Structures are given as C-alpha cells and as structure tokens.
C-alpha cells in the first residue's frame, strides 16, 4: 500500500511538473513594461531592477523589455492605466498621479500638503489605506504588486524666487493631466498648462512655459538648469508614490510559482527604488540639493508662515477634492499622517 501511495504521489508530482512546463511554453517571448522616464531616473531604474530580477529568478522564462516615454501609448501618460487593463501594456511602474483619472482614490496623494514628510507618506501606504488603494486598482482591472516612489515634487521656474502665492500670479506652470493639479495651481494664481513630460522639456527650454513641479531627482537627471529653470522652491506639497502592476490576463498565464517570483521581485525592486528616490535628500546636508545649488540654481525653503499662506490658498481645493475622493478615506490618511508628528 505504501508503494502504491508513493507511486501515486510521484505520478501527481510529475503531472504538475509537466503542466508547469506546458504553461511556460505558452509564455510570451517578451513582456512590455511601460515607464514614463528612462533608467537615468530612479523611477526608470526601479523598472530595470524589477525586469532584471524577474529574468534572473525565472531563469529567463519571463523576459521583460522596458518601454520608457510611455511609448506604447504615444507618450500620453494619462492613457497608460487603460492600456494596461486592455492588454496593450503587460506591466508597468506607474505614477499615482497619472492613474488618478481612472482610479479616483489615488488622488489622495495629490491632495496639496496632506503630508510634507516621508514618514507621513510611509504611514499612508503601509497602513489599511494602502490596502484599500490596492483594492481600488484591482477593481479597475489591473493587478497591483508593490509600492515605489517618485518623490516629493518641488517647484521650479525661470522667473523669480517663489516664497508666497502672489509670486505665482500669471506664471505658466506645466502640470500633468490631472484636474486636481489644474485646480491647485489655479488657486495659487498660476496659469497651469497641461502637457506630457516629453512635451514639457522643449516647452521649458523655449520659454513657452515658465516652470514645472517634479522631484529633484527628475530635475537633476533632466538637467533642468539647461532648460532655463533658475529657481527652486522646496515646499514638499505632495509626494508621488509609484505602483508596480501587471495586466491580469498576463498574470493568469503564468504558473503560480512564477507569479510569486514576479511579486516578490516587485516588492524587492520597489524597496530599492524608494531608497534611490530619497538618496541625497534624507542625509545630513542634503547632498542632492547641494549638487543643484552648485550647478547655479537658486534653492529656497519656505518658512512656517510662508507655508501656511500656501496651505490657506489651496484649502478650498483640498475641501473640494476630499469630498470627491471620499471623506472617510482622506480622514484616515490625515490620522495616519498625524500619528507621525
């Protein structure tokens, strides 16, 4: 009896192994991973780390190719999420900002001055709120696996030091395609101009727009001082978490073992990517800021009174979007942030 049992177990194991091999034979030769920026940026580097980890850990069964510049959707960042759901894109490391038009809950990270610290950001994504946001993405037809980070977005421009809302009046500021950003910069007296990142760079260089807001890692990698960006205001008005995702049909086509490998690789890559995004900003002396100053750019920090003036100016926007996102969710985020102070 023992011999028969062992034989049956061996047969079952062999059958499962053959099924895994058959599934693996149906894998694509290449999986398309969408990115807004290339590997010179921490964001793009996070995608590269993920792809390399997956290729190595699956012994080449899953081969991922990077497509920076959201080239799979002709550079339109706001179409990326829909393209993942539809299968035009297999995988992505995407911005919560760019996906917020399709997943309204992700607008929570764009709420002006909800948190100005990394501790506050971490408290949100590592809590029940983070799970709620992943559930919201899942319900919209895309599978989220891990968090990354683009970073706190700082304001740069070619005209003047900005220390109060009045300094922004009439200034053309490039923003991403999110209504919340349009509302925020309109409330500050600026003229928000929506355009893709690919279009933004020549627009800055030509003076078609005066300024933009992005993490400092983007400023450095894009050499924005050569795009006539002479002044930076450090205001930490919002952070931009990234999310590692996979198309659901692609996910279903992999063996359970490979799914676990891809998910763990996303988690590992996300942790490394967050470290890269914060490097030079959390160390004493902020080496990244010093590097920017050494390139000839003026960097200013807001006083508590100046920061309060900006918060007051955008409070109506905050109140409006709190209702749209969901008061309960926003209040949970506010409590999570408050717990870190």
Say which CATH class 154-238+282-338 falls into. alpha beta
In the chain, domain spans? 28-151+240-278, 154-238+282-338
Mean pLDDT of 224-249: 97
Model confidence at 8: pLDDT above 80 = no
The neighbour count for residue 39, using CB atoms within 10 Å, is 17
Model confidence at 270: pLDDT above 90 = yes
Q: Which tens digit of pLDDT belongs to each residue from 298-321?
A: 999 999 999 999 999 999 999 999
The DSSP 8-state label assigned to residue 286 in this structure reads -
In sign, the C-alpha dihedral spanning 302, 327, 173, 189 is negative
Cα–Cα separations (whole angstroms), residue 69 to 198, 225, 308:
7, 21, 36
Mean pLDDT of 13-31: 64
Backbone angles phi, psi at 339, to 5 degrees: -70, -15
Mean pLDDT of 150-170: 96
What is the pLDDT at residue 198? Answer: 86
Of 150, 149, 148, whose CA–CA distance to 266 is shortest? 148
What's the token pair of residue 77?
């960042």
Q: Which tens digit of pLDDT belongs to each residue from 168-207?
A: 999 999 998 889 999 999 999 999 999 988 899 999 999 9
Backbone angles phi, psi at 112, to 5 degrees: -60, 125
245-284: b or e for each residue (b if 16 or more CB lie within 10 Å)?
Answer: bbbeebbebbbeebbebbbebbeebbebbbebbbebbeee
87/226 Cα distance (integer angstroms)? 38
Same fold, 28-151+240-278 and 154-238+282-338: yes
What is the pLDDT at residue 92? Answer: 98
8 A C-beta contact, residue 209 and residue 203: yes
pTM for the whole thing? Answer: 0.90
pLDDT band for 288, please (50, 70, 90 cuts).
very high
Mean pLDDT of 130-137: 98
The pLDDT > 90 percentage for the chain reads 89
What is the pLDDT at residue 24? Answer: 58
Mean pLDDT of the chain: 93
Model confidence at 9: pLDDT above 60 = no
pLDDT band for 17, please (50, 70, 90 cuts).
very low
CATH number (3.40.190.170, 3.30.43.10, 3.40.1350.10, 3.30.465.10) of 28-151+240-278 reads: 3.40.190.170
Q: Which tens digit of pLDDT belongs to each residue from 108-123?
A: 999 999 999 999 999 9
What is the pLDDT at residue 18? Answer: 47
Cα–Cα separations (whole angstroms), residue 204 to 32, 81, 90, 210, 238:
30, 27, 32, 6, 22
């Amino acid at each position: 009896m023992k011999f028969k049992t062992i034989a049956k177990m061996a047969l079952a194991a062999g059958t499962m192994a053959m099924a895994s091999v058959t599934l693996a034979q149906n894998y694509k030769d290449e999986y398309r991973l969408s990115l807004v920026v290339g590997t010179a940026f921490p964001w793009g580097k996070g995608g590269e780390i993920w792809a390399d980890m997956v290729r190595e850990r699956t012994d080449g069964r899953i081969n991922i190719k990077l497509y920076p510049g959201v080239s799979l959707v002709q550079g339109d960042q706001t179409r990326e999420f829909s393209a993942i759901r539809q299968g035009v894109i297999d995988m992505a490391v995407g911005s919560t900002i760019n996906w917020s038009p399709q997943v309204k809950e992700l607008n929570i990270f764009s709420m002006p001055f909800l948190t100005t610290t990394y501790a506050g950001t971490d408290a949100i994504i590592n809590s029940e709120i983070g799970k709620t946001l992943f559930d919201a993405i899942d319900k919209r037809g895309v599978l989220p696996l891990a968090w990354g980070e683009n970073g706190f977005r700082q304001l740069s421009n070619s005209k003047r030091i900005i220390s109060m809302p009045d300094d922004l009046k009439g200034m053309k500021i490039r923003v991403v395609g999110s209504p919340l950003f349009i509302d925020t910069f309109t409330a500050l007296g600026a003229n928000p101009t929506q355009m893709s990142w690919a279009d933004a760079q020549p627009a800055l260089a030509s003076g078609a727009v005066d300024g933009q807001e992005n993490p400092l890692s983007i400023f450095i990698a894009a050499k924005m001082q050569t795009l006539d960006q002479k002044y930076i205001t450090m205001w930490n008005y919002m952070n931009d978490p990234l999310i590692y995702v996979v198309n659901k049909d692609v996910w279903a086509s992999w063996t359970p073992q490979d799914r676990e490998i891809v998910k763990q690789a996303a988690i590992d890559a996300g942790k490394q990517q967050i470290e890269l995004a914060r490097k030079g900003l959390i160390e004493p002396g902020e080496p990244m800021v010093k590097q920017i100053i050494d390139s000839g750019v003026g960097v200013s920090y807001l006083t508590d009174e100046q920061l309060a003036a900006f918060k007051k100016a955008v409070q109506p926007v905050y109140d409006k979007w709190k209702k749209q996102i969901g008061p309960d969710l926003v209040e949970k985020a506010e409590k999570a942030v408050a717990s870190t102070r």
